[in-house]
Each structure stands twice: as structure tokens, then as C-alpha cells.
């Protein structure tokens, strides 16, 4: 494929713009977290650190329960992603393949879940959870996270199943496989990238969730990263070094997850999300 010089320059300029737009803030945060306090507040900011220190991380880890928040977040997000898949895979398959009355109607009704401010259900849910003894448990967060990830997950999975050639599925069924076996042996392995994309979507939704976690969790030991971190922000308002270290540590786990399976997310999305 041949491209003209001018076209290449336009492309490079555009790419540079987006690399700066997305990358620079993160570079400043992570590099800033290793700078000495006087360098952070220097009148002329430095692009590359002139000093190096672990002091902000030391202070963060010794003066707060950051490790506990991290474990809680991984636990809540991991389990939310798993349960979302458990509910969404059969439902997505049924909406795609099985015939039942009101299929299209139900499918649309599910998507209406995003047509109201999620804050609307906060008050009634809190009352419900209080009665069920779920307030101040991590289970409460998992339930809420699954509920908000589920409609989108079903929607995505239905179109992933739709992208599989019908002949493959037909052949499996003619061999006498009951639907559950077809789903388990043929459909799930073939849509693995799509399923990974949905899992990442659910994980990230829970990982970033703040509002419900701040209302439903009362004790410090059960807080997730977003809530724990906002507490630290409130407490150390102008200690930028400490906050930059906290931000870097909150970014780290999702970056690791993404480094391992991130490309599945993109492949999954591009192989059939919007139809």
C-alpha cells in the first residue's frame, strides 16, 4: 500500500497528538511519583525527573491501608467479572439462538438498564441491602457491579455468537449435541476473544466504580481502591508526591492485567461488537 509523503506526515502528526493526549498525563504522574517534593512543586516543571526517591511510596504504604484496598479491589472486580460471564453467556446465547416468546422485546428491555441514572437505584438498594444484612460487605459491591455490567455483556456476547458461521454450529447440532454441549464445546471456545473482552469490560467497570462503593462500605478494611484513595486525597490534600504514588499504584494492577490480556479486548471488540 503506497501513501504520499503529505499523507504520512498528517498521520504522524495525528498519532503524535493522541500519544501526547493519552500518554503525557500518565508519564507526568508516574515520573512525578519518584521526584523529590521540591522538584514536584518547582516553578518550571521538569519533563524527566532530576531526582529519585521512594519516599512517597514508603509514606503511602506505611500510613494507609493501601495494600488492603488493593486486595479488596482485585477480589471484588475478579468475582464480578466471573459472575457476569456466568449469567451473560447463557443469556447471550439464548437471545441469539433459542426461540422463545418476547425474545426481541426482552432484549431491548435489558438495554434500557442504561437509560436511567444509576444513582436512582442507590437509595432503594441501600434500604434493600440493609434489610438483607448486606451493607458493609464486599458481596454488596459484587452484586451491584454485576448488575451494571450484565446488560452490556449480554449485548456484546449476542453479537459475538452471531459472528460464528452458522454451518459450524449446525454441524455440531446434527451430530446430536444438546444445546448446552454445543454452547460449551463449540460456541464458547470459538468466541474466546469476545468472552475475554466482556470479562475485561466487567472487571474494569468494577475496578473504577466509586459511588456505590463509597455508600455501601462503611469499614476501612473493606474499602476498594477508589474509595480508599479518595479518603487519602481528602486527608493529604496538597501532598502531591503521596497522591502521585497512590495514583501510580492504582494504575499498576489494571496495566498488568491489560499487558497480559489487553489485546484480546481489542480483538474481541473489533470482531463484532456493534451490529
Partner 1 sequence: MARNPILALAFVAPALLFLAAILAWPLVSAFLLSLQNVRGVGTSGQWVGFENYRFILTNGAFWDSAGLSLAWVLANAVLQTLLALAAALILHQKFPGVRVARTWIILTWIVPTVVVVMIWRWLFSTSGGMINPLMMQAGITDRPIGFFATPESAFATLVFINSWRWFPFIALMMLAGLTRIPSELYEAARIDGAGPVRRFTRITWPLLAPTLTVLLIIGTLLSFNVFDIIWLMTQGGPAGGTRTLPVLIYETAFRSYRMSEAATIAVLSTLLLMTFAIVATRSLARSGDER
Q: Taking CB under 8 A as the rule, does residue 48 contact partner 1?
A: no
Could you tell me which stretch among 49-57, 58-66, 188-196, 227-235 binds partner 1 (CB under 8 A)? Answer: 227-235
**84 within 8 A of 203, measured Cβ to Cβ:** no
Could you tell me which stretch among 49-57, 59-67, 112-120, 184-192 binds partner 1 (CB under 8 A)? Answer: 112-120
Q: Taking CB under 8 A as the rule, does residue 59 contact partner 1?
A: no
Which residue matches cell numbers 500510613?
63
**61 within 8 A of 67, measured Cβ to Cβ:** yes
> What is the crossing angle of helices 5-32 and 240-270, to 10°?
140
Which residue matches cell numbers 448446552?
180
Could you tell me which stretch among 48-56, 59-67, 139-147, 187-195 binds partner 1 (CB under 8 A)? Answer: 139-147
Site for partner 1 in 193-212 (CB under 8 A): 204, 207-208, 210-211
Q: Taking CB under 8 A as the rule, does residue 256 contact partner 1?
A: no
Could you tell me which stretch among 55-63, 118-126, 184-192 binds partner 1 (CB under 8 A)? Answer: 118-126
CB of 154 to partner 1, least distance (A): 6
With respect to partner 1, which residue has the nearer C-beta, 7 or 52?
Answer: 7
Site string for partner 1, 70-99 (x = CB under 8 A): -----------------xx-xx-xxx-xxx
In this structure, the dihedral spanned by the alpha carbons of residues 178, 180, 186 and 192, taken in order and rounded to 10 degrees, is 170
CB of 62 to partner 1, least distance (A): 20
CB of 185 to partner 1, least distance (A): 16
Q: Taking CB under 8 A as the rule, does residue 137 contact partner 1?
A: no
Instruction: Report the distance separating Cα 83 and Cα 183, nearest Å.
Output: 18
Phi and psi for 87 in degrees, rounded to 5?
A: -85, -35
Q: Exactly one of 45, 67, 184, 235 binds partner 1 (CB under 8 A); which one? A: 45
Site for partner 1 in 163-182 (CB under 8 A): 173, 179
Diameter of the chain by CA atoms? Answer: 74
Q: Exactly one of 53, 68, 137, 230 binds partner 1 (CB under 8 A); which one? A: 230
H-type alpha helices, the chain? 5-32, 37-40, 55-63, 66-96, 103-111, 122-131, 138-162, 166-174, 179-182, 188-190, 192-208, 211-216, 225-235, 240-270
Instruction: Report the distance separating Cα 31 and Cα 85, nearest Å.
Output: 37
Q: Taking CB under 8 A as the rule, does residue 41 contact partner 1?
A: yes
Taken in order 62, 65, 69, 71, is the CA torsion positive or negative?
A: positive
Number of shown-chain residues binding partner 1 (CB under 8 A): 94
Could you tell me which stretch among 52-60, 148-156, 184-192 binds partner 1 (CB under 8 A)? Answer: 148-156
Q: Taking CB under 8 A as the rule, does residue 126 contact partner 1?
A: yes
Amino acid at each position: 500500500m503506497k501513501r504520499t509523503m503529505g499523507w504520512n506526515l498528517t498521520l504522524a502528526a495525528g498519532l503524535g497528538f493522541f500519544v501526547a493526549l493519552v500518554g503525557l498525563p500518565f508519564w507526568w504522574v508516574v515520573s512525578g511519583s519518584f521526584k523529590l517534593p521540591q522538584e514536584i512543586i518547582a516553578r518550571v516543571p521538569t519533563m524527566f525527573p532530576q531526582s529519585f526517591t521512594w519516599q512517597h511510596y514508603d509514606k503511602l504504604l506505611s500510613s494507609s491501608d493501601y495494600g488492603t484496598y488493593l486486595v479488596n479491589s482485585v477480589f471484588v472486580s475478579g468475582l464480578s467479572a466471573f459472575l457476569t460471564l456466568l449469567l451473560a453467556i447463557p443469556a447471550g446465547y439464548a437471545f441469539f439462538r433459542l426461540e422463545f416468546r418476547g425474545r426481541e422485546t426482552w432484549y431491548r428491555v435489558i438495554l434500557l438498564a442504561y437509560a436511567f441514572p444509576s444513582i436512582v437505584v442507590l437509595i432503594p438498594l441501600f434500604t434493600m441491602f440493609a434489610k438483607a444484612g448486606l451493607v458493609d460487605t464486599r458481596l454488596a459491591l459484587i452484586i451491584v457491579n454485576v448488575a451494571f455490567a450484565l446488560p452490556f455483556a449480554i449485548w456484546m456476547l449476542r453479537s459475538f455468537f452471531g459472528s460464528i458461521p452458522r454451518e459450524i454450529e449446525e454441524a455440531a447440532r446434527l451430530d446430536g449435541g444438546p444445546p448446552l454441549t454445543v454452547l460449551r464445546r463449540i460456541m464458547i471456545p470459538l468466541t474466546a476473544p469476545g468472552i475475554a473482552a466482556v470479562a475485561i469490560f466487567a472487571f474494569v467497570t468494577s475496578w473504577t466504580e466509586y459511588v456505590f462503593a463509597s455508600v455501601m462500605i462503611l469499614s476501612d478494611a473493606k474499602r476498594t481502591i477508589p474509595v480508599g484513595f479518595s479518603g487519602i486525597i481528602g486527608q493529604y490534600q496538597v501532598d502531591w508526591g503521596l497522591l502521585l504514588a497512590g495514583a501510580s499504584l492504582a494504575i499498576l494492577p489494571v496495566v498488568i492485567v491489560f499487558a497480559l490480556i489487553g489485546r484480546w479486548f481489542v480483538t474481541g471488540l473489533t470482531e463484532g461488537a456493534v451490529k
